[in-house]
Structure 1
């Protein structure tokens, strides 16, 4: 099944090292606190051992609609990027998405940092039909998350 690549970026007036460290460590429930159409906010994170940042770590993300997904940290190249895989999707997103590989990148942009969040997702067979609509919702969700990150970083 062909994958679908989605990404969204935002420049923030914060140094690359600081942006990376603070985004990696920040609670997902604050970054992803808003719904975007059919994509719910993150309600809770469970089963995380210690501070997030060690490759191979896992945690369960609980969505406000009752769905869950397993996140596994797959890379940590401080201060340039960190990546993860989303699997074991349960709930309303399960019929659409089989899995997703996420990547956050941080690169100098003027006197600040360009933060990019990207997903390479593998849709289910049924999900292929819904991908254009899902992609539009995801881009809005990502834009909201990057707005939250900027507000967090500027506190």
Structure 2
């Protein structure tokens, strides 16, 4: 049971958690990750950001990432939401929620999905700062994290 959505509007972490658990008696583990807009990046202050994507291609990429996670771990439910458009400081950007019968699989799958999302999903991020707007390239640290998955 996968739920994948790219949206402009905010999401409720509590509602997403409830959806993962609702009538889900077979999974004993639920792991979630929520990424939010922070006020700094690469040593510079950030005032906000704008996320763009390629409709259709982005959703397909997220579906493929989720399918690959399912091929590696016994998963119950996966919920993956990612926002696009203008975002303010502290706005939630991404929600990844995974359930599994056991915690090890849920932890690993959640991190795997997030690592793949950061390095492969077609999103483009533009940060606003005191010195102007700038497009943000993929971080080397994110690429190194992906290497551990082979």
Structure-2-length-normalised TM-score = 0.39
Decide which structure has greater strand share.
1
Decide which structure has greater helix share.
2
Structure possessing the higher radius of gyration over alpha carbons: 2
